[in-house]
């Protein structure tokens, strides 16, 4: 079993829809939770970073962490075609070695 | 300012050959990381440098892989006797001090072993 599980998709939604992306993890020692976005042939870029249970909002993006069920989510409101990318969840125990999920490929259709 | 840069952007080599991949971190960042991303997968941790020393090399798959950072800035990932299974995108990232800040990734080097 992988430490971080993520549905690879692909996921295709119409422009303006609310998108929900999810990961589960198995290592209780994880303290840091991140979502990265990766465009084709580019390196990952950080979207959201949290180290506690609960919600964190940044513009159209909301990250949600539930440590009791080891479940993390990313919600995208008013999705745009420019949001089309692969979304990677990443967890870390000590914030150095990141453990990534497989990534979910998302397409927003105009 | 400049981000993390990696050279070459693409590398094609033959099985059994030696390759070197270079990473230039963001200026002033003391922490540097190497990850490997296979097609359709998330990045996998290889090694983490704090300054010149390898603080965690637990992700290096075997002794054919080696990385250095002699002056605490530029890093080189070295792969000996390459195998077809080494084909992947090799990503480098850097962070300010390695104490939980954001890791900034470079564009990666796409390695193809024929």
* Residue B106 in this model has a pLDDT that exceeds 90: yes
Beta carbons of A41 and B107 less than 8 Å apart: yes
Partners of residue A20 on adjacent β-strands: A75
> Which tokens is B102 given?
């954001």
B48 vs B2: which has the higher pLDDT: B48
Residues 6+ apart with CB under 8 A from A4: A23, A24, A25, A26, A89, A90, A91, A99, A100, A101, B42
Across chain A, mean pLDDT equals 92
Structure confidence at residue A95 (pLDDT): 62
Each residue's pLDDT tens digit, A29-64: 888 899 999 999 999 999 998 888 889 999 999 999
Distance from CA of B108 to the nearest CA of A (A): 6
DSSP type of residue B84: G
Beta carbons of A95 and B99 less than 8 Å apart: yes
How far apart, in whole angstroms, are the C-alpha atoms of residue A38 and residue B5?
16
Q: What is the average pLDDT across B84-103?
A: 91
Q: Does A45 touch chain B (CB under 8 A)?
A: yes
**In this structure, what are the phi and psi dihedrals at residue A43, rounded to the nearest 5 degrees?**
-80, 160
Each residue's pLDDT tens digit, B70-82: 999 999 999 999 9
Each residue's pLDDT tens digit, B9-32: 999 999 999 999 999 999 999 999
Structure confidence at residue B1 (pLDDT): 56
Q: Does A49 touch chain B (CB under 8 A)?
A: yes
CB B26 within 8 A of CB B95: no
CB A15 within 8 A of CB A80: yes
Characterize A37-73 residue by residue with b for buried, 16 or more Cβ atoms within 10 angstroms of its Cβ, and e for exposed. bbeeeebbebbbbbeeeeebeeeebbbbbeeeebebb
Q: Residue A101 — very low, low, confident or very high, per pLDDT cuts 50/70/90? A: very high
Beta carbons of B42 and A103 less than 8 Å apart: yes
Q: What is the average pLDDT across A63-74?
A: 94
Partners of residue A4 on adjacent β-strands: A25
């Amino acid at each position: 079993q992988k430490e971080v599980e993520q549905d690879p998709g692909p996921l295709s939604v119409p422009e303006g829809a609310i998108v929900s992306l999810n990961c589960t993890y198995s290592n209780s020692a994880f303290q840091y939770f991140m979502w990265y976005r990766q465009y084709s042939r580019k390196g990952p870029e950080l979207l959201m970073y949290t180290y506690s249970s609960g919600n964190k909002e940044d513009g159209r993006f909301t990250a949600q962490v539930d440590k009791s069920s080891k479940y993390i989510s990313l919600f995208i409101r008013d999705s745009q075609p420019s949001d089309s990318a692969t979304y990677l969840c990443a967890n870390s125990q000590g914030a150095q070695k990141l453990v990534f999920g497989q990534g979910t490929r998302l397409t927003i259709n105009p | 300012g400049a981000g993390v840069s990696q050279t070459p952007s693409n590398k094609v080599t033959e099985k059994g050959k030696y390759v070197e991949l270079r990473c230039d971190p963001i200026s002033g960042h003391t922490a540097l990381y190497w990850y490997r991303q296979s097609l359709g997968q998330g990045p996998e941790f290889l090694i983490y440098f704090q300054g010149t020393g390898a603080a965690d090399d637990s992700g290096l798959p075997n002794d054919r892989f080696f990385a250095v950072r002699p002056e605490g800035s530029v890093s080189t990932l070295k792969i000996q006797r390459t195998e077809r299974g080494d084909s992947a995108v090799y990503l480098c990232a850097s962070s300010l001090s390695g104490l939980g800040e954001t890791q900034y990734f470079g564009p990666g080097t796409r390695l193809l072993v024929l």
